[in-house]
């Protein structure tokens, strides 16, 4: 008579265990023989891939393939653990690499790694704009807001999330704000690049600026405005009228106005383009409401207001007291 018994002893993981098989043989006289067989089962095989896929792919930035859905099997375990990771390199010379990694393991920590490499070529969308006029390199106040230029020429563009590059390495670009300062740069055409990242391919904006000193406006050497505040209209040829030295130089001072008030605040004289010749104050009223026209004004203190435009376009105002004596 033969009896059989089998005992399963769990191992360190679900795929590992030990079988102990025992056969006991007994004859008619009760003599017994026992035979034992020990079977050690170990899971040493890692999960395998069950899906065909490309391990190396070449693509453009606007056509990067989606991550494939891979299936894996294991010879022992029913559950396969999959950990996915994807990394992208920094673009160099117009290309970058995406590495996709699947790390698969079973319950006994048998592990396999599968990778897919995507070599991506970058084809950026390029928008170009040439600044419409040359700019002066001798003007230390000139600042060109390239971000504002791009916003105007390409409405709706995000000018805060991208990166700025001075293609000439001139040192004139603020790479934080996108403001370009051409002061004292050599005569050249400067190119500023703004790169805006997107979900697919980057968008580039190239703004070129012609900067040189030939377009700089050379202001004339102007003599200063000097106001002589004494008027003695007695015909002796000295201070017979209100003299404003150099006001007649229309190259330096292309526009001016003069107003004169008496001590009661009544305007007694005003003119434009005062010239020390035909448009002058000789102590005679211009005929205001309370002062008779062409009447000689009495000796006294008056108040003048002079406003003039300089060659650079800025206006200056001078005022003070004027002394009339007969």
- What share of the chain has pLDDT > 70, as a percent? 97
Specify the pLDDT at position 293.
Answer: 55
Per-residue pLDDT band at 214 (split at 50, 70, 90): confident
Give dist(CA 313, CA 136) in Å, integer: 17
Written as six digits, the tokens of 102 are 């699947």
Specify the pLDDT at position 158.
Answer: 94
CATH fold, domain 125-212, is Immunoglobulin-like (2.60.40)
Specify the pLDDT at position 12.
Answer: 81
Per residue in 31-81, pLDDT tens? 999 999 999 998 889 999 999 999 999 999 989 999 999 999 998 888 899
Question: 48-121 domain in CATH 2.60.40.10?
Answer: yes
Please say whether the dihedral angle defined by the alpha carbons of residues 251, 257, 260 and 264, taken in this order, is positive or negative. negative
Give dist(CA 264, CA 266) in Å, integer: 6
Measure Cα distances from 124 to 119, 162, 207 in Å: 16, 13, 16
Q: What phi and psi values does residue 235 have, to the nearest 5 degrees?
A: 80, 10
Contact 8, 19 (CB under 8 A): yes
Per residue in 266-286, pLDDT tens? 999 999 999 999 999 999 987
Specify the pLDDT at position 294.
Answer: 60
Contact 268, 262 (CB under 8 A): yes
Specify the pLDDT at position 311.
Answer: 84
Per residue in 299-323, pLDDT tens? 999 999 999 999 888 999 999 999 9
**pLDDT (mean) for 231-260:** 94
Specify the pLDDT at position 288.
Answer: 55
Specify the pLDDT at position 200.
Answer: 80
Give dist(CA 275, CA 146) in Å, integer: 44
The per-residue pLDDT of the chain, averaged, comes to 92
Measure Cα distances from 10 to 38, 43, 80, 156 in Å: 13, 13, 20, 67
pLDDT value at 256 more than 70: yes
Give dist(CA 101, CA 83) in Å, integer: 8
The residues spanned by each domain of the chain are 2-41, 48-121, 125-212, 226-324
**pLDDT (mean) for 231-240:** 91
**pLDDT (mean) for 240-269:** 94
Give dist(CA 242, CA 283) in Å, integer: 8
Give dist(CA 323, CA 302) in Å, integer: 6
pLDDT value at 219 more than 70: no
**pLDDT (mean) for 138-156:** 93
Written as six digits, the tokens of 69 are 């859905």
Do the domains 125-212 and 48-121 match in fold? yes
CATH class, 226-324 region:
mainly beta
**CA angle, 195 then 199 then 205, to 5°:** 20
């Amino acid at each position: 008579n033969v009896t059989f018994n089998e005992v399963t002893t769990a191992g360190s993981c679900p795929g590992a265990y030990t079988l102990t098989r025992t056969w006991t043989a007994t004859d008619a006289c009760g003599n017994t023989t026992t035979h034992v067989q020990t079977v050690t089962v170990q899971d040493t095989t890692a999960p395998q891939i069950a899906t065909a896929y490309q391990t190396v792919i070449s693509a453009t930035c606007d056509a990067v393939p989606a991550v494939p859905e891979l299936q894996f099997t294991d010879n022992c375990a029913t559950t396969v653990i999959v950990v996915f990771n994807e990394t992208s390199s920094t673009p160099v010379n117009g290309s970058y690499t995406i590495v996709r990694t699947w790390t698969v393991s079973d319950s006994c920590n048998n592990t396999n790694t599968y990778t897919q490499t995507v070599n991506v070529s970058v084809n950026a969308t390029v928008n170009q704009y040439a600044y419409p006029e040359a700019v002066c390199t001798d003007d230390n106040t000139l600042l060109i807001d390239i971000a504002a230029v791009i916003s105007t020429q390409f409405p709706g563009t995000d000018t805060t999330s991208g990166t700025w590059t001075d293609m000439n390495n001139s040192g004139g670009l603020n790479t934080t704000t996108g403001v370009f300062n051409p002061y004292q740069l050599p005569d050249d055409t400067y190119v500023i690049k703004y790169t805006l990242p997107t979900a697919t391919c980057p968008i580039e904006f190239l703004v070129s600026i012609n900067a040189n000193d030939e377009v700089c406006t050379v202001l004339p050497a102007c003599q200063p405005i000097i106001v002589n505040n004494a008027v003695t209209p007695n015909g002796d040829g000295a201070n017979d009228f209100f003299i404003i030295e150099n006001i007649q130089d229309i190259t330096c001072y292309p526009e001016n106005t003069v107003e004169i008030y008496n001590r009661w605040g009544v305007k007694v004289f005003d003119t434009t383009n005062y010239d020390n010749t035909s448009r002058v104050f000789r102590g005679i009223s211009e005929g205001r409401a309370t002062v008779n026209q062409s009447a000689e004004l009495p000796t006294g203190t008056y108040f003048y207001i002079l406003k003039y435009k300089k060659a650079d376009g800025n206006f200056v105002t001078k005022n003070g007291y004027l002394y009339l004596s007969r």
